[in-house]
Structure 1
Amino acid sequence: MKIARLVKTICICGPALLAPLAAAQVTDPPVVRDAIVRLRNGVNINDFLASISSTYPGTTVVDDIASRNIYRLSLTEGADPVQVDQFFANLANQPNSMLRWGEAGYEARTAESRTGSVYVSRPASYAAQFETQYPTITLGVTQAQQLSTGRGVAVAILDTGVDASHPAFGAAVRNDGFNTILNNTDTRDIARGVDSNGNSTADEMVGHGTFVAGLVTLVAPETRILPVTVLDSDGVGTTWSIGKGLFYAIDRDVEVINLSLGSTYKAQIFEDAANEAEARGIMIVAAVGNSASTSPARYEYPGQLKETIGVYAVDRNDVLATFTNYGGDSRSLEALVGAPGASTGDPNATIYGPLPGGMYGEWEGTSLSTPLMSGGLALLYAQHPVWGSLPPIDPNDPSDPTTLFETILGTMLPPASVNISAQNPGAGSLLGLGRIDLEALISVGPPQPAPGDINGDGVVDLSDLAQLLADFASTRSTADLTADGIVDLSDLAYLLAHFGH
């Protein structure tokens, strides 16, 4: 990644919160002795462990997603990850197997951690630059916000955590987040003394999640943020921590899941989560990486999955950022878009975002392109609140019903995407849909309903109150006005505050 200009700015302009560049991590290594398995319904984990004890004696359960019968295992010392994958593949194919699938666990990380990108710290006075930065012009954010501000929508940020106290968020950050690294509810975006990449510099990605979340609310200022910490403060996680975070977010009834991260290992746990999200009408948006490559060897997941929207980075002139990955196979190209993510140091061509402690910063990367797209989808969902209450689609339905993901991808995003082939000679066939235009995406839809107007009839009245009471304690309901995942007293108070308007 070409960031010499940013490093130079650090040296000249004062305090940078992150350390010197790390060596690039081209591919993600396996996690020693780590494996993930998904058992068939009704299978007991102890019975399964007994069945593999001759090959992997002493295997223990480290963690689980009990609702899906998915387990993280610690295998025998010296277990080879390639052999682990092959062993589980063979086992899953046996008649009456207890196993649906199994795989070795691998590391994952932010694209910026992979390439050693650092941010430039700026004071709180940079709030103005944050609010007026060039992506708001390129994407037509101000025009889009005339119809929608993301009210009633929740976006999960799977990252290093979020500083909920930052003034940029107000009361946007929900308090029901989770940390899959520590297995607790501490989702603060803070230094924890971690040097996961072994470059003798700890906590290099503190602030990444806060920065990313800020770009979502820049686009969709009334959207709620669900923080799910899946990376440590050095920007490193695992396929397990991310997979568990995906299922956690799905169970909290968000509309959009933002993943400004990835792994070069195509994990089945990502596939399962993406398939379930699609069936439930949840959009996953993921960065495609900063390795300046179109090579399949550099693909990052979940961003390259056909069930997710992958995002690459462009500059203010719609030229591909020098660091960005792009391209993909024929299916993933159908779900690939570009968004601003490049910074030059010029205030009119730089990405700004909030950092912990009330600060702001300058950065670049596909991690920053991704939340701009996620914020745009939040605007779209707010225009169509019924989407958040659609019943899940049965993947075994023989009629093969069209999913919301397919509808958005097939009919809404193509006409709202700008062809940038002329600005990028030779790359046209690898640019997917093109650069997203949020003004075009939102302008063809209706205005979002007024606050508290559950049934969308233009007034908050007894019919809305009746619907809220009928759905009380429910999830996936248009009556979840505060977008906290459940219809409760906070929604009733919100409705009553707007009653008669």
Structure 2
Amino acid sequence: MDIQSVGAAFIRPGQVLTDRSALSAAARWTQAVSEADGVCVIHLAPGADPCEITAELRDQGLRASPNHVLRGQPLFFGGPASRPFPTPPIPFKKSRSRSDVVVGLLDTGVAKHPWWTGSDWYGRLGPESSDAPEGAQAGHGTFIAGLLTRRAPGAALQVCRVLDGDGLTDEATVVRALHRMLERPPQVLNLSFGGHTFDDRPPPLLSDALGALTETVTVACAGNTGSDRPFWPAALACAVGVAALDATEQHRAPYSGYGTWVDACARGDWLASSFLDAGDFAGYAAWSGTSFAAALVAGAIADAARDEPAKEAAGRLLEGDGAREIRDLGVLFPASL
């Protein structure tokens, strides 16, 4: 994937993301257009700057954004969130209880694992939803699937692979996946990836796509940036942004993003879950990052949504009496694993 760094954000060089309404206004810079699932990627003529063109289109009231590169989080170089570690098998008894809740998981995919072998949702997955076999973040989706499975027993997962094995994707890929999800929207959606934007403003096409899932609670990680700079999509008003706490569940994990845009927090340090059966790993790992804190919050909301609409369950958990709130980290969700 070609990547360009712009102001500590990352974009696909020579690409602008928009809808059909902006095509004529951008025609003089356009070399080609690729359109799918209601999203247009304008491939710019040589020398055209995606950020400058985005600003000009927005000045005309049009929806546009550079095609930002988004990354799975646990990318925190030199910190505990940088890689998984092998761990012994984790006892887990499959739930016999029934839940009608569906949790959407956009990630690296999900690999075969004893925790869900024979389940209806896993049986419906095709090869395009299998976890990436290689790369620095291969197993990321499988790890998150285990956290969701344990935190929301009986819930079904709706899996879409958008991240490659190195945990990379772009905004266009995610927006298109969200548009396809409109046909069968989940009650809860887990997004354990994100990034900064070139101007620190909300990415409009991504915001539109998530906003269209009107009955879905979107939970997104606050990023392993160790800063208060807005991290998208977690910082969107339509998302529950989740920071990570250390193993004591008392303090912010040093790598975690934080700020007034964060809504909730959960343990992110040294969680153990399902993983790939490959190399030094025998299907289980310990890993740290805001990715996994987000999965605990998404699972808690999904479990509460057994008995009430997901939006109401999320509101009750985030705003209910007695909820402990930590400054710049939001409402605490105990790990409960």
TM-score (norm: length of structure 2): 0.85
Return closer, same or farther for 1:26/1:176 CA change in 2, 3 Å cut-off: farther
Match of 2:31, SS state, is coil
Superposition pairs of residues 129-168 of structure 1, within 5 angstroms = 131=92, 151-163=99-111, 165-168=112-115
2:85: which partner in 1? 120
Alignment of 1:219 with 2:141, yes or no, is no
User: How many residue pairs end up in the alignment?
Assistant: 317
Distance 1:367 1:150 in 2: 26
Return closer, same or farther for 1:90/1:418 CA change in 2, 3 Å cut-off: closer
Instruction: Specify the code of the residue in structure 2 equivalent to 1:37.
Output: T
Whether the 8 Å contact between 2:217 and 2:314 is mirrored in structure 1 is no
Match of 2:233, SS state, is coil
Alignment of 1:190 with 2:159, yes or no, is no
1:435: which partner in 2? 332
Match of 2:299, SS state, is helix
For residues 329-368 of structure 1, give each alpha carbon's deviation from its aligned partner in whole angstroms, at most 9, with x where no partner exists: xxx35xx11111112xxxxxxx101112361001000101
Superposition pairs of residues 10-25 of structure 1, within 5 angstroms = none
Q: Structure 2 residue aligned with 1:367, among 287, 291, 295?
A: 291
The percentage of counterpart residues that share the same residue type is: 23
Superposition pairs of residues 35-74 of structure 1, within 5 angstroms = 35-40=16-21, 49=23, 52-53=26-27, 55-61=28-34, 63-66=35-38, 70-74=39-43
Superposition pairs of residues 84-483 of structure 1, within 5 angstroms = 84-91=53-60, 93=61, 100-113=62-75, 115=77, 117-122=82-87, 125-128=88-91, 131=92, 151-163=99-111, 165-170=112-117, 171=119, 173-174=121-122, 186-191=128-133, 203-265=135-197, 266-277=202-213, 279=214, 281-294=215-228, 296=229, 299-318=230-249, 319-328=251-260, 332-333=261-262, 336-343=263-270, 351-357=271-277, 359-384=283-308, 387=309, 405=311, 407-415=312-320, 418-419=323-324, 421=326, 428=327, 430-432=328-330, 434-437=331-334
Instruction: Specify the code of the residue in structure 2 equivalent to 1:326.
Output: Y
Match of 2:194, SS state, is coil
Whether the 8 Å contact between 1:259 and 1:287 is mirrored in structure 2 is yes
The farther-off stretch of 77-86 and 112-121 is 112-121
Whether the 8 Å contact between 1:289 and 1:312 is mirrored in structure 2 is yes
Instruction: Specify the code of the residue in structure 2 equivalent to 1:64.
Output: A
Whether the 8 Å contact between 1:111 and 1:262 is mirrored in structure 2 is yes
Whether the 8 Å contact between 2:74 and 2:83 is mirrored in structure 1 is yes
1:29: which partner in 2? 10
Alpha-carbon offset, residue 27 of structure 1: 3.1
For residues 175-203 of structure 1, give each alpha carbon's deviation from its aligned partner in whole angstroms, at most 9, with x where no partner exists: 6668xxxxxx61111335xxxxxxxxxx1
Alpha-carbon offset, residue 108 of structure 1: 0.5
For residues 384-414 of structure 1, give each alpha carbon's deviation from its aligned partner in whole angstroms, at most 9, with x where no partner exists: 3xx3xxxxxxxxxxxxxxxx74x44544422
Whether the 8 Å contact between 2:267 and 2:334 is mirrored in structure 1 is no
Match of 2:9, SS state, is coil
For residues 230-261 of structure 1, give each alpha carbon's deviation from its aligned partner in whole angstroms, at most 9, with x where no partner exists: 11111011111122222223332211110011
Instruction: Specify the code of the residue in structure 1 equivalent to 2:49.
Output: D
For residues 278-327 of structure 1, give each alpha carbon's deviation from its aligned partner in whole angstroms, at most 9, with x where no partner exists: x2x10000000111122x2xx21110111111111113422211211111
Alpha-carbon offset, residue 82 of structure 1: 1.6
Distance 1:85 1:114 in 2: 29
Unmatched 5+ stretches in structure 2: 1-5
Q: Over alpha carbons, which structure has the higher Rg?
A: 1
Distance 1:372 1:111 in 2: 14
Return closer, same or farther for 1:250/1:29 CA change in 2, 3 Å cut-off: same
Distance 1:212 1:246 in 2: 19
For residues 24-54 of structure 1, give each alpha carbon's deviation from its aligned partner in whole angstroms, at most 9, with x where no partner exists: x9933110111211135xxxxxxx656533x
Whether the 8 Å contact between 2:19 and 2:63 is mirrored in structure 1 is yes
Distance 2:305 2:159 in 1: 19
Match of 1:339, SS state, is strand
Whether the 8 Å contact between 2:266 and 2:335 is mirrored in structure 1 is no
Larger relative helix fraction: 1
Return closer, same or farther for 1:172/1:308 CA change in 2, 3 Å cut-off: farther
Return closer, same or farther for 1:121/1:261 CA change in 2, 3 Å cut-off: same
Instruction: Specify the code of the residue in structure 1 equivalent to 2:116.
Output: F
Instruction: Specify the code of the residue in structure 2 equivalent to 1:90.
Output: D
Whether the 8 Å contact between 1:149 and 1:223 is mirrored in structure 2 is no
Distance 2:76 2:183 in 1: 29
Unmatched 5+ stretches in structure 1: 1-24, 41-47, 94-99, 133-144, 179-184, 193-202, 344-350, 388-403, 422-427, 440-501
TM-score (norm: length of structure 1): 0.58
Return closer, same or farther for 1:38/1:259 CA change in 2, 3 Å cut-off: same
RMSD over aligned Cα, in angstroms? 2.7
Alpha-carbon offset, residue 101 of structure 1: 1.3
